[in-house]
C-alpha cells in the first residue's frame, strides 16, 4: 500500500467519545424526567459498576480529581505527610496532594516502562508515608500484589496519626486507575485489588460521563465500606446530611451540615451516558479497542525503530486506553516534527505525559528533571496514536502508513 490508497481519508480526531442514538435517548430521558442532578441514574450506574467489578461499594462523583482529594481528606493526609506517586502521570495525581498540604514524593519509571519503578517506590517508604498512589498508565494495571505486600511488610514503619490510620496500621493504597476502567487483573476487571480504586470518566477516557469519576471502597474488615461511602458522599455535598433528592420526600426538607464540605456530585445527566455504555462496554467497546491496538502493534512489528508497549503481561491486561508508540533514536524535536506532520495530514495525536518535574510549578518547588532519567527517556520519543470505538480499520492502516513512510524518510 502507499499514500495514494488513502488520498481521500477524512480527518481523524484523537479520542472522541462513543456517543450514538442510544446515548442521546438516555440523556433525553433524564432531561424529560424532571430530575437532572444526582438521583436514580447515578445510583443505578454505581450499582452496575459494582456488579461489573465485584468489589466494594462504588461512589460516582464529578471527576477523579475531586473524588480522590476527598479520600485523602478522609484518611487525614495533611502537612508533614508524604504521598508516593509516579513522576510519569497527569498533574491531577500530584495537585491533590498539594491541595491537602502534603508532600508528593515522585518516583521514576521502571527501565523501559511507563509504570512506576516498584523497587524505588518501596525504598521511598518511611514513617511519613501515608498513601501510595500508583498509576495504571495507558490502562495497564501495575502489579497490585507487589504494592499491597510491600506496605504490609513495611507496616512497622507506619506512624498513624488518627483513628482510621491506627485501625489499618499501614499505608493506604489508592490506585490511580484513571485510564484502566475495564483492564483485567487475574482475569477480573480492576477495582477490587487495593484499598480504594479511582477511575476517571473524563471525556477522552474509554468509559465516559463527559466529566466524572468513581471510587471503589475495598478496605479490609473491620472497616465498614458502606459507612465510608456515606462519609465521602457527605463530604462531596457541603457536609450536608441529605442529598437533594432525599430532601424532596414528604416532610424531609430539613438537613444538617456536619462539616464544611465540598461540592462535587455527579449529575444524572452525566450518569445516563455511562449507564448506556455499561451494558456494552465489555461486549463490543473493549474488544474494538483491543483490535485497534493489535492492528497498530502488528503494523509496526517489522520496524526496528518502533518500540511498542506490552498490553498483556502475566495476570495483567490493559484497558487499551492509549497506544503509546516510541520511536527509537528520536528526541523531543523529532517527535514534535512528526506530530506536526501528522496534524497537517489530518491525524490528531498526543503525548502522554510530560513528566511532572518538567512542569514550571513542580520545578519551582524543587523537582529536577535529571532525577527522573527513565521518565524522560520514555517521554522524549513518545507519541500517542488515536484509539476510539468508531475508529475504522482503514483509518488505522492509514495512520500506520503515514508514520512508517515518515520515519523511514526521517530516521
Ligand atoms: C493519570 C490520570 N490521573 C488523574 C486524572 C484526572 O482525572 P479527572 O479529569 O477525571 O479528574 C487524569 C486525567 O486525565 C489522568 O490521566
279 exposure class (CB count in 10 Å sphere: 0-12, 13-18, 19+): exposed
Q: How many residues in the chain?
A: 411
Cβ–ligand 1 contact at 200 (below 6 Å): yes
Say what angle helices 225-235 and 64-75 make with each other, to 10 degrees: 110
| Centroid of ligand 1 to alpha carbon of 205 (angstroms) | 9
pLDDT, tens digit only, all 411 positions of the chain: 444 467 678 999 999 999 999 999 999 999 999 999 999 999 999 999 999 999 999 999 999 999 999 999 999 999 999 999 999 999 999 999 999 999 999 999 999 999 999 999 999 999 999 999 999 999 999 999 999 999 999 999 999 999 999 999 999 999 999 999 999 999 999 999 999 999 999 999 999 999 999 999 999 999 999 999 999 999 999 999 988 888 888 899 899 999 999 999 999 999 999 999 999 999 999 999 999 999 999 999 999 999 999 999 999 999 999 999 999 999 999 999 999 999 999 999 999 999 999 999 999 999 999 999 999 999 999 999 999 999 999 999 999 999 999 999 999
The residue whose CB lies within 8 Å of the most ligand 1 atoms, and thus the one to mutate among 69, 179, 200, is: 200
Nearest-CA residue for atom 7 of ligand 1:
64
pLDDT of residue 3: 46
| Centroid of ligand 1 to alpha carbon of 284 (angstroms) | 24
CB 172: neighbour CB atoms within 10 A?
25
174 exposure class (CB count in 10 Å sphere: 0-12, 13-18, 19+): buried
Q: What is the CATH number of domain 21-272?
A: 3.40.640.10
Domain 281-409 has CATH 3.40.50.11540: no
Distances (CA, A) of 63 to 182, 209, 308, 340: 18, 10, 30, 31
Cβ–ligand 1 contact at 202 (below 6 Å): yes
Distance (Å, rounded) from C-alpha 79 to C-alpha 82?
8
* Alpha-helix residue ranges (DSSP H) falling in 1-117: 21-33, 40-53, 64-75, 91-99
User: Domain limits of the chain?
Assistant: 21-272, 281-409
Q: Is it true that 21-272 and 281-409 share their CATH fold?
A: no
| Centroid of ligand 1 to alpha carbon of 61 (angstroms) | 13
Q: Which atom of ligand 1 is nearest to the CA of 211?
A: 10
Cβ–ligand 1 contact at 93 (below 6 Å): yes
| Centroid of ligand 1 to alpha carbon of 185 (angstroms) | 21
* Cβ partners under 8 Å of residue 30, min gap 6: 36, 41, 268, 269, 271, 272
Cβ–ligand 1 contact at 114 (below 6 Å): no
* Cβ partners under 8 Å of residue 293, min gap 6: 311, 318, 320, 323, 387
pLDDT of residue 4: 47
Distances (CA, A) of 131 to 84, 170, 180, 274, 373: 6, 9, 20, 29, 24
Q: Which atom of ligand 1 is nearest to the CA of 353?
A: 16
331 exposure class (CB count in 10 Å sphere: 0-12, 13-18, 19+): exposed
Q: Which atom of ligand 1 is nearest to the CA of 352?
A: 16
Cβ–ligand 1 contact at 62 (below 6 Å): no
Q: Which atom of ligand 1 is nearest to the CA of 202?
A: 10
Q: Which atom of ligand 1 is nearest to the CA of 65?
A: 11
Place of cell 455499561: 278
| Centroid of ligand 1 to alpha carbon of 24 (angstroms) | 25
Cβ–ligand 1 contact at 135 (below 6 Å): yes
Amino acid at each position: 500500500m502507499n499514500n495514494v490508497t488513502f488520498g481521500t481519508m477524512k480527518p481523524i480526531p484523537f479520542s472522541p467519545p462513543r456517543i450514538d442514538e442510544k446515548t442521546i435517548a438516555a440523556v433525553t430521558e433524564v432531561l424529560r424526567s424532571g430530575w437532572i442532578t444526582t438521583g436514580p441514574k447515578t445510583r443505578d450506574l454505581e450499582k452496575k459498576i459494582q456488579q461489573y467489578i465485584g468489589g466494594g461499594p462504588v461512589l460516582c462523583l464529578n471527576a477523579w480529581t475531586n473524588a480522590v482529594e476527598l479520600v485523602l481528606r478522609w484518611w487525614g493526609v495533611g502537612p508533614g505527610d508524604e504521598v508516593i506517586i509516579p513522576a510519569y502521570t497527569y498533574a491531577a495525581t500530584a495537585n491533590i496532594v498539594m491541595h491537602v498540604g502534603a508532600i508528593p514524593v515522585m518516583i521514576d519509571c521502571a527501565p523501559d516502562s511507563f509504570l512506576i519503578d516498584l523497587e524505588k517506590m518501596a525504598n521511598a517508604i518511611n514513617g511519613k508515608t501515608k498513601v501510595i498512589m500508583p498509576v495504571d498508565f495507558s490502562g495497564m494495571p501495575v502489579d497490585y500484589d507487589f504494592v499491597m505486600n510491600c506496605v504490609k511488610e513495611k507496616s512497622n514503619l507506619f506512624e498513624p496519626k488518627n483513628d482510621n490510620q491506627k485501625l489499618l496500621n499501614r499505608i493506604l493504597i489508592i490506585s490511580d486507575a484513571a485510564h484502566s476502567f475495564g483492564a483485567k487483573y487475574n482475569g477480573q476487571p480492576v477495582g477490587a485489588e487495593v484499598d480504594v480504586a479511582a477511575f476517571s470518566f473524563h471525556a477522552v477516557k474509554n468509559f465516559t460521563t463527559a466529566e466524572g469519576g468513581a471510587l471503589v471502597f475495598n478496605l479490609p474488615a473491620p472497616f465498614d465500606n458502606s459507612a465510608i461511602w456515606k462519609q465521602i458522599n457527605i463530604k462531596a455535598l457541603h457536609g450536608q446530611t441529605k442529598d437533594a433528592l432525599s430532601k424532596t420526600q414528604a416532610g424531609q426538607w430539613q438537613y444538617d451540615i456536619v462539616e464544611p464540605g465540598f461540592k462535587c456530585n455527579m449529575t444524572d445527566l452525566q450518569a445516563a451516558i455511562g449507564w448506556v455504555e455499561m451494558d456494552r462496554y465489555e461486549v463490543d467497546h473493549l474488544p474494538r479497542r483491543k483490535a485497534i491496538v493489535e492492528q497498530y502493534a502488528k503494523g509496526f512489528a517489522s520496524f526496528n525503530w518502533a518500540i511498542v508497549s506490552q498490553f498483556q503481561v502475566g495476570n495483567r491486561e490493559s484497558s487499551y486506553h492509549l497506544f503509546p508508540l516510541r520511536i527509537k533514536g528520536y528526541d523531543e524535536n523529532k517527535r514534535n516534527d512528526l506530530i506536526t506532520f501528522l496534524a497537517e495530514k489530518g491525524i490528531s495525536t498526543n503525548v502522554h505525559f510530560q513528566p511532572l518535574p518538567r512542569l514550571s510549578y513542580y520545578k519551582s518547588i524543587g523537582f529536577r528533571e535529571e532525577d527522573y532519567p527513565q521518565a524522560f527517556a520514555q517521554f522524549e520519543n513518545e507519541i500517542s496514536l488515536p484509539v476510539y470505538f468508531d475508529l475504522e480499520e482503514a483509518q488505522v492502516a492509514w495512520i500506520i502508513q503515514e508514520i512508517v513512510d515518515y520515519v523511514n524518510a526521517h530516521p
